[in-house]
């Protein structure tokens, strides 16, 4: 706790970011940021006496509905007490401890909202909630350290660089590197389940942490591990149509044990958020390496997404192969991740305008009452209608903190590089 307080004081001392100077003339972005600021400040105030983070809301759906989406029978839980407890919690806010994989998104959202508005209260809360995550830097039992630390401390590093923050970034990267297997050429994801050495597409999102650590230290080890992981994933995670599996498990000799889609409709389906992780991850890898193989992969996945998403508002169903029906849950989080990636991708390719325009459409649709919450509603989350894992009856059609995070990131990228035609 003493170290946390020290870091808080250090971060506060160097924070001097001023509000963006550009005048925001677009009413929809102004409204979106107004709502986001209000929601985030209220959420922060509600949890200020705790060390918890707002994650989502509790949801529960009957098996009949899940089976209609999946096309097969399901048994989510055989424990009546567990089922009943979730039913009782349904509709309530779901908070998470700092060791949860989503813990970094709320402080990251506070940083982005502060950067976009210059609101000093958002800065204060960003510092507070970032510092709560200080103990995470030594965790070695999870691959999600990039989400947890790069989204929080990574944004603090970018906006308020100081030695305390850089130390956290490097220590966390060291912990993540311990999960790298040189023989397989990938960073291990889970330490549970029926897999020998599972790696999920989500892991591409943790590579920015390693790239950050490499820049801080000058040590090529972080860069080399990130690049090796990305190249191995590119070889084994993707189908001929450029959709990706969720999980690839490796044997001890580095060969592929099995390929699955754990949170999607089935092993052959295109789980929506996974496709977002893929295009985002390879766009980031190209930014950091300038390796055209990564850019080509990002373009292939992006073009596949534009071809496969058939919803009229471009907010995808929870799985691209889910039933095209009114009752099928959307996944706003997948849309936000895609939009953020597309905006960055648009700056790297000659025909980038098509990706920018696609992302702009997503953001404008997310900023309507169909997805954007009213102030004080939605348990103070910004967006509605995301889906965590439908096959596990978890967070189906609910607000989720990582949707809010990538929505704000996409808005920032949009406002930073907006084309003249879109003013």
E strands in 135-246 = 180-181, 186-187, 198-200
Tens digit of each residue's pLDDT, the chain (423 residues): 444 444 443 333 333 322 223 334 459 999 999 999 999 999 999 999 999 999 999 999 999 999 999 999 987 777 788 888 899 999 999 999 999 999 999 999 999 999 999 999 999 999 999 999 999 999 999 999 999 999 999 999 999 889 999 999 999 999 999 999 999 999 999 999 999 999 999 999 999 999 999 999 999 999 999 999 999 999 999 999 999 999 999 999 999 999 999 999 999 999 999 999 999 999 999 999 999 999 999 999 999 999 999 999 999 999 999 999 999 999 999 999 999 999 999 999 999 999 999 999 999 999 999 999 999 999 999 999 999 999 999 999 999 999 999 999 999 999 999 855 444
Q: List b or e across 380-409, with b for residues whose CB sees 16 or more CB atoms inside 10 angstroms.
A: bbbbbbbbbbbbebbbbbbbbbbbbbbbbb
List the binding residues for substrate.
144, 202, 261, 273, 277, 389
397 assigned to active site: no
Residues of each annotated binding site: 144, 202, 261, 273, 277, 389
Which of 119, 144, 208, 331 does the annotation list as catalytic?
A: 144
pLDDT at 418: 85
What token pair was written down for 314?
A: 């471009």
Q: How far apart are CA 18 and CA 384, in angstroms?
A: 30
Q: Work out whether strand 256-260 and strand 93-96 pair parallel, antiparallel, or are unpaired.
A: unpaired
Structure tokens at 186: 């990938």
The dihedral built from the CA positions of residue 392, 395, 401 and 402, taken in this order, carries a sign that is: positive
> Both tokens of residue 2?
């003493």
pLDDT on residue 76: 77
pTM of the model: 0.93
**Nearest 5 degrees, angle CA 353-CA 354-CA 359?**
95
Q: Is 208 a catalytic residue?
A: no
Could you tell me the two tokens for 36? 């986001």
Q: Which long-range contacts (CB under 8 A, 24 or more apart) does 293-302 make?
A: 293/231, 293/234, 294/230, 294/234, 295/348, 295/349, 297/234, 297/238, 298/341, 298/345, 298/348, 299/345, 299/349, 300/242, 301/238, 301/242, 301/244, 301/275, 302/341, 302/342, 302/345, 302/355
Reported as a single tens digit per residue, the pLDDT across 325-361 is 999 999 999 999 999 999 999 999 999 999 999 999 9
Rg over CA atoms, the chain: 20
Q: What pLDDT is stored for residue 99 in this prediction?
A: 98
- The catalytic position among 95, 100, 119, 202 is 202
Q: How many CA atoms lie within 13 A of 67 on its CB side?
A: 8
């Amino acid at each position: 706790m003493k170290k946390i307080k020290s870091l808080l004081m250090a971060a506060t001392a160097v924070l001097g970011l001023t509000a963006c100077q550009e005048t925001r003339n677009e009413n929809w972005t102004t409204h979106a940021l107004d709502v986001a600021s209000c929601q985030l400040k209220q959420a922060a105030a509600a949890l200020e006496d705790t060390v918890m983070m707002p994650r989502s809301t509790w949801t529960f759906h009957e098996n009949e509905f899940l089976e209609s989406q999946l096309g097969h029978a399901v048994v989510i839980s055989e424990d009546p007490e567990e089922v009943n407890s979730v039913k009782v919690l349904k509709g309530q806010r779901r908070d998470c401890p700092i060791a949860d994989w989503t813990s970094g998104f709320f402080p990251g959202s506070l940083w982005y909202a502060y950067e976009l508005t210059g609101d000093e209260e958002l800065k204060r809360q960003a510092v507070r909630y970032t510092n709560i995550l200080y103990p995470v830097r030594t965790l070695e039992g999870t691959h999600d350290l990039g989400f947890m630390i790069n989204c929080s401390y990574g944004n603090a590093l970018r906006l308020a660089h100081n030695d305390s923050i850089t130390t956290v970034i490097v220590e966390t990267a060291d912990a993540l590197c311990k999960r790298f297997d040189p023989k397989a050429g990938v960073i291990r994801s889970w330490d549970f389940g029926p897999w020998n050495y599972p790696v999920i597409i989500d892991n591409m999102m943790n590579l920015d942490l390693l790239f950050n650590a490499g820049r801080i230290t000058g040590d090529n080890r972080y860069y080399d591990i990130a690049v090796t992981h990305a190249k191995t994933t590119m070889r084994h995670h993707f189908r001929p149509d450029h959709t990706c599996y969720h999980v690839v498990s490796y044997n001890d000799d580095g060969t592929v044990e099995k390929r699955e889609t754990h949170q999607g409709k089935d092993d052959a389906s295109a789980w929506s958020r996974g496709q977002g992780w893929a295009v985002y991850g390879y766009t980031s890898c190209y930014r950091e390496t300038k390796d055209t193989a990564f850019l080509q992969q990002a373009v292939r996945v992006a073009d596949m997404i534009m071809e496969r998403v058939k919803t009229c508002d471009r907010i995808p169903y929870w799985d691209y192969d889910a039933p095209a029906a009114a009752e099928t849950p959307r996944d706003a989080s997948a849309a936000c991740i895609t939009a953020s990636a597309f905006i960055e991708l648009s700056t790297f390719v000659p025909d980038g305008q098509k990706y920018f325009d696609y992302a702009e459409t997503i953001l404008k649709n997310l900023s309507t009452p169909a997805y954007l919450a009213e102030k004080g509603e939605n348990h103070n989350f910004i967006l509605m209608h995301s889906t965590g894992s439908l096959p596990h009856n978890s967070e189906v059609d609910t607000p989720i903190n990582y949707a809010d995070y990538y929505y704000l990131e996409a808005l920032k990228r949009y406002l930073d590089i907006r084309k003249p035609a879109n003013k």
